[in-house]
Structure 1
Amino acid sequence: MRKLFGCRPAYWLGLCAITVIGAAGPAAYAADAYPNKAIKMVVPYPPGGPTDLVARGAGAAMAQIIGESIVVDNKSGASGMIGADQVARSAPDGYTILANASLHVINPHIYKKMTHDAFNDFVPITQLAAVPLVLVVPKDSPIKTVADLVAEAKRSQNGLNFGSAGTSSAQHLSGESFKKLAGIQMQHVPYKGSAPALTDLVGRQLDLMFDSMPSAMPFIASGQLRAIAVTTHKRVAALPDVPTVAESGFPGFDISTWYGLWAPKGTPDAIVEKLAATAKQALHEPKVAQQYATMGAEPVGSTPKEFAQYVASEGKKWAELVKQANVPLQ
């Protein structure tokens, strides 16, 4: 012991260095070795909806880059909260991640009680895409313009109904905001995702829908649905002849949705950074960029820090929209 404690300072510096390296070693090794098995990407909505389409496009390209399978697991229900709950309770090791829409930051302003904290139980990884919504009606609907929609809503004895991907979704809030702005009444019909709502819209069980472009575009392209307007402040390249709601008589109307990836709280920074970098690379792959463009989605690929800041600002924005639309707490 005397020899040990009597060693020169250089010895202690070396010993401390070894100790620090040893302490950091497991975390560094975990990040370097990640991934060594399949990654589960939970999508909290049914297959075929916009979140599913955006996630699958990115996930397939990410798997090629990262060298392990990325398996999409659809866990729909409760406005996306069932799937989000599953991820929040998962091990923070990077092998279970969440692909969700902007609804992730809207729910806290709609529901009095939630079994997870949308802001504090997750680590933001990256924003995958920004997406306009499009106002669509069945192909044989008499409604051909926004003005037609307002006139029909005022004339109809039973009122019009509109579908959405779920209560408090961007689709729902778009419809509620438009109702208030136009001074009309419409009945909201929530679904467990866009896909079943679009099926009923095509079958004329619904009158209209404000839907995310990735899920609506195939129906527009096939002629099953007619696009009336887009919800952003400017027209979109995928539908250049379709006017905006703002230029159709309602200036200031500007709503869009977005999609991103989250990991459970406690996931190592190195793994989060690796997933974000992989996603960014995947979103710049020509195949993914073309797929997103066809859907009307704009790839983003932000850093975890940038996405965290965006999530915080969007939470505040949607809180105001919920208030303006007079959506009651659930």
Structure 2
Amino acid sequence: MAQRHQTSPLRNPLMDMLQAVREAGSIAGAAKSLQLSYRHVWGELKRWEQALEQPLILWEKGHAARLSEFADKLLWAERQAQARLAPQISALHAELEKTFSVAFDPEHHVLPIFASHDDALVQLREHAAKQSLHLDLRFCGSVDAIRALNEGRCIMAGFHAPSQPATDSLVARTYKPLLKTGLHKLIGFSSRQQGLMVQPGNPLALRRLDHLLRPGVRFVNRSPGTGTRLLLDQWLTAAELNHQNIEGYAHEEPSHAAIAACIAAGQADVGLGIGSAAQAQGLDFVPLEQEDYWLVCLKSAVDSPPVQHLCRLLQSADWTDQLNAMAGYTAVNTSGQIQSLKQRLPWWTHRSHKPKP
């Protein structure tokens, strides 16, 4: 077989056969060099001729088989593609080998996480990768993240809740059926501020929740199932405010970053989100609520190497300094510590009261 066929990262059986016919001058010689049967090579060439509706091999009595002009052009085009793409394909191949080598290295760990969107988690992923811990992050709503954990689609989930939610609050009533004492364990992650992201200088002077109901104020919302949407709906219910009076309540974006970008582009005046997302887009931020961001995993996974690796990393001084430097974030003294639901979430420490009708 020609050297090109042995080393090329891009392989095509037709091109291999055409090249072999050109070099051998016959179907039989091509079949021998390719270590294939004559019948197979002949049948494949005929099949390709029918598919392409062009002749590939020319035979003249007493002469060697040769390629048609169309076949010559095919090989020329393939050489051009090889010259242009082979370096990139080789580099990609090397990168894939490097990536897959992680699977065979006992010092590296991979941790699948479904989580509510959070800028600190993005930075943690980059920080952890340098410590041989690879976080396979999938962002979704808090509720969907916990459901993914319960359905076995990940090892850990990330969700957020107000630091002191009422026992019969919407947040408590939503999360409590999903999290089970004795089954789940919490891991402290961070404390962060939720608030109003507004245009630079806050020209509409939006400082409170009821300001969202002002005529002409364009709001942009998070989608149902996200912790931020849950928080907003809880605030509205507690304040006895009707969401139908908020212009743009039905306008939904998938992340804090998307909401900030929407406001920065002038498509909305205000949205609920985190301070780091507002800062990234040059927006002003009006803090309204301090909340906790939690990581949760099944009790059975607490002692697994990836989870233990993550806990050690979260307790390190390097990560604490990096987290505290982010806008709106504060490291918590429980960061990286395994805790029970009853210890940390107040709605498990008291008997739930039925919400008033």
TM (norm. structure 2) is 0.52
CA distance in 1, matches of 2:306, 2:181: 15
**1:144 aligned onto 2:198:** no
CA distance in 2, matches of 1:165, 1:316: 30
| 1:198 to 1:140, Cα distance in 2 relative to 1, 3 A | same
Provide Cα deviations, 1:245-295, integer angstroms capped at 9, x if missing partner.
xxxxxxxxxx3222222223422547598346414423x21x652443332
Cα drift, residue 131 of structure 1: 0.7
CA distance in 2, matches of 1:109, 1:301: 27
- 1:203 aligns to what? 265
CA distance in 2, matches of 1:75, 1:168: 10
**1:98 aligned onto 2:131:** no
Q: Quick one: which amino acid aligns to residue 169 of structure 1?
A: G
CA contact under 8 A between 2:184 and 2:340: conserved in structure 1? no
Matches within 5 A, 1:217-228: 217-219=279-281, 222=282, 225-227=283-285
| 1:212 to 1:121, Cα distance in 2 relative to 1, 3 A | farther
Cα drift, residue 146 of structure 1: 2.5
**1:55 aligned onto 2:113:** no
CA distance in 2, matches of 1:44, 1:218: 21
Cα drift, residue 129 of structure 1: 0.4
Provide Cα deviations, 1:55-114, integer angstroms capped at 9, x if missing partner.
23334444545xx332332242xx3344433333338xxx832233339x96672499x8
- 1:84 aligns to what? 146
Cα drift, residue 139 of structure 1: 3.1
User: When the two structures are aligned, how many residues end up with a matched partner?
Assistant: 241
Unaligned 5+ runs, structure 2: 1-104
**1:292 aligned onto 2:324:** yes
CA distance in 2, matches of 1:35, 1:309: 35
RMSD over equivalenced CA pairs, Å: 4.3
Unaligned 5+ runs, structure 1: 1-33, 232-254
**1:230 aligned onto 2:264:** no
TM (norm. structure 1) is 0.56
- 1:237 aligns to what? none
**1:73 aligned onto 2:100:** no
Provide Cα deviations, 1:278-325, integer angstroms capped at 9, x if missing partner.
14423x21x6524433322111252645463454316789x99xx69x
Cα drift, residue 126 of structure 1: 1.6
CA distance in 1, matches of 2:262, 2:156: 31
Higher relative contact order (CA 8 A, sep 6+): 1
- 2:290 aligns to what? 256
SS of equivalent to 1:205: coil
SS of equivalent to 2:219: strand
| Structure showing greater Rg | 2
CA contact under 8 A between 1:126 and 1:276: conserved in structure 2? no
